[in-house]
Structure 1
Amino acid sequence: MQDQGIPANTAETRKGRHPKSLYVLFLVEMWERFAYYLMVGILLLYLIDDKTGGKGLTEKMGADIVGSFIALVYLTPFIGGLLADRYLGYIKSIFIGGTLMALGYFGLALPGNTALYVSLCLIIVGNGFFKPNISTILGNIYNREDLKPLKDNAYNIFYMGINIGALVCNFVAAYLRNKYGWGYAFSAAGVGLIIGLIILASSLKNVREGEIKKEKRPEDMPIGKIFGYVFLPAIIAAVIGWIVPTMLFGTTIMGSKSNDAFIFACLPIIAFYVSLYIGAKGQDKKGIGSLLFIFAISIIFWTIYNQNSTGLTLWAQKHTDRTVSPAGEKIAGSLGFMQTVSDSPRLVNKVDQYFVDIKDNAAIAGPAGNGNVKLVDGNIVDKNTRVVQVMGPDPYFNNVPKSEWPEKGNEKLANTELFQSINPLFIIILTPLLVLLFSFLRNRNKEPSTAAKFGMALFISGLSALVMVFAIMSVNSVYLEKTSPYWLWGTYFVFTISELLLSPIGLSLVSKLAPARLTALLMGGWFLSTSIGGKIAGVMTSFWDDFTDKKVFFLILVISAFIGGILIFSRLKSLNTIVKDKTGSA
């Protein structure tokens, strides 16, 4: 362990080249993100699937689970960053987190709801140890004076590695779930993560330069107090959020008990970050204050970002034309990227005294007095295995005229999750172009400041949601017609530009402005904003059917993003000054 972060390959850094450690971390993160995005890309589809071995939940329940998972998976970096800063160190934390996540991915292949929830918990905890600390190691390496000018570009390159994994994983998921089933797809995620850990273990000499020991200071709050002041109140607040709203109002505040519990639990953690600002002094106070402001605004961006796994997944599944040309079908079919959907009966929207209301046509038994009925192979049957309720067509046919249904009762379509590869594809294409553009502008002293990039990103992310408004307007009714897949290509293209301006730069900004002893902890704060945004995305999607005019759903995102951009630019001058004072450049 080196305490000054001096790279072993100083000859390379003197020439302005990136050190080997960047490419090691690039590969490790690529495989870790391959695993994560494979899993999260099919999670909602798996939960609501009632035809091919999925859980058969309603869309509302599925969106609630996915939103809660995304929220928690980005909330735990607060804990993992804290433990790494104070006790474990960054490399050890990465191995702990990676091992837990791999176990979780393999666990998702096991049958039963217990295995599902235990596995999701393992992934949530594991991500908390892994995610903030690999980013912190990269930031530590680039804190050297001769590497600081390359820091933003390093995070862009690092971010491209993330998206290579995110691009490839959806094709692997489609092939495995089509050919062998959901369990094989989830297991592939576990294999990918193990590959990443092997790469890290074999290249430790290149990354140890980022394992910088932080000096303890008298003003640092002991971890025991943090658990007493933050986590215990968070647990109590979560219990209150789960119980009290329904007791007082007869209903939940945010649509479900889990949503209320999460929002309540966040309040003590947010209060802790505010206390860091209040207790800080001088440049530390300015840096922490700027980061908290950025974190708050970033919630809007992450809400739009996480539509990828929630709202836009439903849009791709139910409202997008997924048919493929005969030539394309032959190629995609041979590669295993086409799924079969059927117009054979599926659960109809009819309810009797034994079942809960199922307005989104997904199959879930809601026993209200008859313990002899259950869900078997997608049908609700009685104790004599006689079908009590039959099934309706696949959701894809909900807005396809019956006259256009396939003659043989089945149709080959592109897998829904393949659309989630559009965003990482554009990132891989656009990242080198953006790096070259900013290098060109930087050489002429015209590069936008980091804060300006944030403001631009908010506006552009709002424009990506506006593309979906035009998609809805392109048809007479989204309930009667499919929209062109090119609208999803368009919204992902526009959003990718905003993502490249904000997401990798955000990691860089935390490493620039955070006090050295709090770097990983404030990385956790950055992921906390991602967490809240993911939860809001899940909450919005759980009300998907309540938006009879889908334009309203996306216009909420447009307006919120524009407001966030305005707020950033209203403080642009002060933000630029703080960054310059802290780092020597804006």
Structure 2
Amino acid sequence: MAQSPAAAPTKGHPKGLYLLFTTEMWERMSYYGMRALLVLYMVGATDKGGFGWSQAKALQLYGLYTGLVYATPVIGGYLADRFLGQRLSVTLGGILMMLGQFVLAMPGNSEALFYTGLGLLVVGNGFFKPNISTMVGGLYEPGDPRRDGAFTIFYIGINVGAFMASAVCGTLGEKYGWMYGFGSAGVGMALGVIVFLALGNKFLGNVGKSPTHVKSKASASSPAAPRVALTRQEWDRIVVILVLALFVVFFWAAFEQAGGLMNLYTDAKVDRGVFGWEVPTTWFQAVNPLFIMLLGPIFAEVWTGLGRKGKDPSIPAKMAMGLLLLSFGFVFMLGASKQSEAAGKAALMWVVAAYFFHTAGELCLSPVGLSMVTKLAPTRFASLLMGVWFIANAVANYLAGVIGGYAEKLGEFDLFLAITIATAAAGAVLLALAPMLKRMMHGADETKPVEQVKLDVESAPKTQVA
């Protein structure tokens, strides 16, 4: 789905990947910095600048906010495809999110400012998120074995930002005041916009400059233009995207307990002492991105190596593995809840072990899913379908807040047990469906030998829209 001819493949990656990596890193530092503080801020005492809300109310708003964050990309993707182009959309989204963080940082503990800041973040994310992900796919030709590995590298950038968020924004907000945490998140987003604008033309070429709808119309005017109507194969591939999105809801509804229920659980019921020093609660939000940085390069190399050998597992099979690993991670939360019930506090290693397996599952599912959309989506609907993919995250994030709110009624153990069973069942069903879904992709997920992709790139016309 390259929007301009990519460089002939080598063992390395285009420089544009690392620019998008850096831009996404700063944006995720902004997002996760705010996320690490959000529920703690809402339940925090009013005399310390918080709102003093109940846990259930805070988690409900948390779920609504994160759900909207992942719902608006379908609108942002549509506007990028039809009118704005991906580059302009990413810039606009970054600026809106920067402003949102600075509004949250304004002193006064005002609910009006609070909701205004959240609104700017929601709209800005809608422009930013689907389009930067789609641009990563635009750097590679169809069949390029580097694509899944590229999305895993890109995903490492996401989690470098998330790690910085906990270390910087979380520490400043928790220790020195909420406004400093939110303000530092705004500075991070500003840096991302500056880097993207300064280096975009140099490293990205024409990728993302023009709306893909305009490109498709231009191609359709030529004598050898492809059919405008979607083919049966294209419809099958869209169906695969939608089916996998349903299973993604199960994954993220469970995984996103990290920012809500597991965050509050860690704050209240985990012994965070290490050699006489208490680890700040927000620092636990850095465990997942730390594991991503450690495991991400391994996964990237494994997927790329298997792709070159023609032994790469199918996308649905990888995603099923992700669900099963996530389920296994919640087994450790069962151990934690049993210990906290018996002793008052759970050992922090239970939570760390849970995050380890959640991270391994995430690496099997999330970057692979992003790569999958760029492989299967028809070019003229690329950003729109990336937005649709994020709708699954929107539903899941809203459900995560609703599910987390039941902890007060059911107890943590019963809730963690239900999550464990549900994600294991979803993973088993997806694994059974994997062969059928692979057939419906009609070869779009298959890689080519590097030599063949080089020949395709060299023989492609300069204005190719793949």
1:552 and 2:414 equivalent?
Answer: yes
Q: 1:22 aligns with which of 9, 14, 17?
A: 17
Amino acid aligned to 1:38 = G
Displacement of 1:174 in angstroms is 3.6
Displacement of 1:481 in angstroms is 0.8
2:268 match: secondary structure: helix
2:346 match: secondary structure: coil
Structure 1 unmatched ranges of 5 or more = 219-278, 330-412
1:304 corresponds in structure 2 to: 254
Which whole-Å CA distance do the structure 2 matches of 1:507 and 1:36 have between them? 19
1:100 corresponds in structure 2 to: 96
2:283 corresponds in structure 1 to: 418
Task: Provide closer, same or farther for how the CA distance between residues 58 and 80 of structure 1 changes in structure 2, counting only shifts above 3 A.
Answer: same
2:223 corresponds in structure 1 to: none
Displacement of 1:573 in angstroms is 1.2
Amino acid aligned to 1:135 = S
Q: 2:296 aligns with which of 418, 427, 431?
A: 431
Which whole-Å CA distance do the structure 2 matches of 1:26 and 1:439 have between them? 18
Displacement of 1:468 in angstroms is 0.8
Which whole-Å CA distance do the structure 1 matches of 2:371 and 2:171 have between them? 36
1:149 match: secondary structure: coil
2:220 corresponds in structure 1 to: none
Q: 1:38 aligns with which of 33, 40, 50?
A: 33
Q: 1:195 aligns with which of 177, 181, 191?
A: 191
Which whole-Å CA distance do the structure 1 matches of 2:151 and 2:75 have between them? 23
Which whole-Å CA distance do the structure 2 matches of 1:184 and 1:552 have between them? 37
1:466 corresponds in structure 2 to: 331
1:120 corresponds in structure 2 to: 118
Amino acid aligned to 1:209 = N
Equivalenced residue count is: 431
Amino acid aligned to 2:38 = L
Task: Provide closer, same or farther for how the CA distance between residues 195 and 566 of structure 1 changes in structure 2, counting only shifts above 3 A.
Answer: same
Displacement of 1:81 in angstroms is 0.4
1:484 and 2:347 equivalent?
Answer: yes
Displacement of 1:67 in angstroms is 0.7
- Write the mapping of 1:314-393 to structure 2, written as runs, cut at 5 A: 314-326=264-276, 329=277
1:441 corresponds in structure 2 to: 306
- Write the mapping of 1:78-89 to structure 2, written as runs, cut at 5 A: 78-89=74-85
1:6 and 2:9 equivalent?
Answer: no
User: Residues 58-117 of structure 1: CA distance to partner in whole angstroms, max 9, x if unpaired?
Assistant: 111111111110000110001000000000111111111111110100001122110000
Which whole-Å CA distance do the structure 2 matches of 1:16 and 1:418 have between them? 36
Task: Provide closer, same or farther for how the CA distance between residues 213 and 63 of structure 1 changes in structure 2, counting only shifts above 3 A.
Answer: closer
Amino acid aligned to 2:32 = Y
Task: Provide closer, same or farther for how the CA distance between residues 498 and 83 of structure 1 changes in structure 2, counting only shifts above 3 A.
Answer: same
Amino acid aligned to 2:327 = G
Which whole-Å CA distance do the structure 2 matches of 1:455 and 1:3 have between them? 28
Asked if the contact 2:270/2:340 (under 8 Å) is kept, the reply is no
Displacement of 1:584 in angstroms is 4.1
Asked if the contact 1:138/1:210 (under 8 Å) is kept, the reply is no
Asked if the contact 1:151/1:508 (under 8 Å) is kept, the reply is yes
Q: 1:173 aligns with which of 160, 169, 178?
A: 169
Which whole-Å CA distance do the structure 1 matches of 2:2 and 2:173 have between them? 47
Quote the sequence identity (%). 35
1:502 and 2:365 equivalent?
Answer: yes
Task: Provide closer, same or farther for how the CA distance between residues 491 and 25 of structure 1 changes in structure 2, counting only shifts above 3 A.
Answer: same
Q: 1:204 aligns with which of 178, 200, 203?
A: 200
- Write the mapping of 1:216-255 to structure 2, written as runs, cut at 5 A: none
Which whole-Å CA distance do the structure 2 matches of 1:296 and 1:545 have between them? 27
Which whole-Å CA distance do the structure 2 matches of 1:498 and 1:3 have between them? 28
Amino acid aligned to 2:4 = G
Return the TM-score normalized by structure 1.
0.71
Return the TM-score normalized by structure 2.
0.88
2:112 match: secondary structure: helix
Determine which structure has more spread, i.e. the larger CA radius of gyration: 1
Displacement of 1:443 in angstroms is 4.5
1:532 and 2:386 equivalent?
Answer: no
2:463 corresponds in structure 1 to: none
Which whole-Å CA distance do the structure 1 matches of 2:300 and 2:79 have between them? 34
Which whole-Å CA distance do the structure 1 matches of 2:408 and 2:314 have between them? 41
Which whole-Å CA distance do the structure 2 matches of 1:80 and 1:311 have between them? 30
Task: Provide closer, same or farther for how the CA distance between residues 540 and 19 of structure 1 changes in structure 2, counting only shifts above 3 A.
Answer: same
User: Residues 347-380 of structure 1: CA distance to partner in whole angstroms, max 9, x if unpaired?
Assistant: xxxxxxxxxxxxxxxxxxxxxxxxxxxxxxxxxx
Asked if the contact 1:468/1:487 (under 8 Å) is kept, the reply is yes
User: Residues 502-540 of structure 1: CA distance to partner in whole angstroms, max 9, x if unpaired?
Assistant: 000000000111111111111111111011111111001
Asked if the contact 2:69/2:123 (under 8 Å) is kept, the reply is yes
Task: Provide closer, same or farther for how the CA distance between residues 444 and 6 of structure 1 changes in structure 2, counting only shifts above 3 A.
Answer: closer
Deviates more, 1:525-534 or 1:48-57: 48-57
Amino acid aligned to 1:37 = Y
Which whole-Å CA distance do the structure 2 matches of 1:215 and 1:421 have between them? 39
Asked if the contact 2:233/2:442 (under 8 Å) is kept, the reply is no
Amino acid aligned to 1:82 = Y
2:72 corresponds in structure 1 to: 76
Structure 2 unmatched ranges of 5 or more = 218-228, 449-466
| Bigger relative contact order (CA 8 A; separation at least 6) | 2
Asked if the contact 1:152/1:505 (under 8 Å) is kept, the reply is yes
User: Residues 405-460 of structure 1: CA distance to partner in whole angstroms, max 9, x if unpaired?
Assistant: xxxxxxxx321111010000000000112223334434544332222101111111
1:582 and 2:444 equivalent?
Answer: yes
Asked if the contact 1:288/1:513 (under 8 Å) is kept, the reply is yes
Amino acid aligned to 1:542 = G
- Write the mapping of 1:144-159 to structure 2, written as runs, cut at 5 A: 144-145=141-142, 148-159=144-155
Task: Provide closer, same or farther for how the CA distance between residues 560 and 36 of structure 1 changes in structure 2, counting only shifts above 3 A.
Answer: same
Which whole-Å CA distance do the structure 2 matches of 1:178 and 1:466 have between them? 29
Asked if the contact 1:579/1:585 (under 8 Å) is kept, the reply is no
Task: Provide closer, same or farther for how the CA distance between residues 512 and 62 of structure 1 changes in structure 2, counting only shifts above 3 A.
Answer: same
Amino acid aligned to 2:161 = G
Which whole-Å CA distance do the structure 1 matches of 2:418 and 2:193 have between them? 41
Which whole-Å CA distance do the structure 2 matches of 1:427 and 1:178 have between them? 24
Which whole-Å CA distance do the structure 2 matches of 1:3 and 1:437 have between them? 24
1:130 corresponds in structure 2 to: 128
Task: Provide closer, same or farther for how the CA distance between residues 582 and 190 of structure 1 changes in structure 2, counting only shifts above 3 A.
Answer: same
Displacement of 1:552 in angstroms is 1.3
1:203 match: secondary structure: helix
1:273 corresponds in structure 2 to: none
User: Residues 203-226 of structure 1: CA distance to partner in whole angstroms, max 9, x if unpaired?
Assistant: 1221243225424679xxxxxxxx
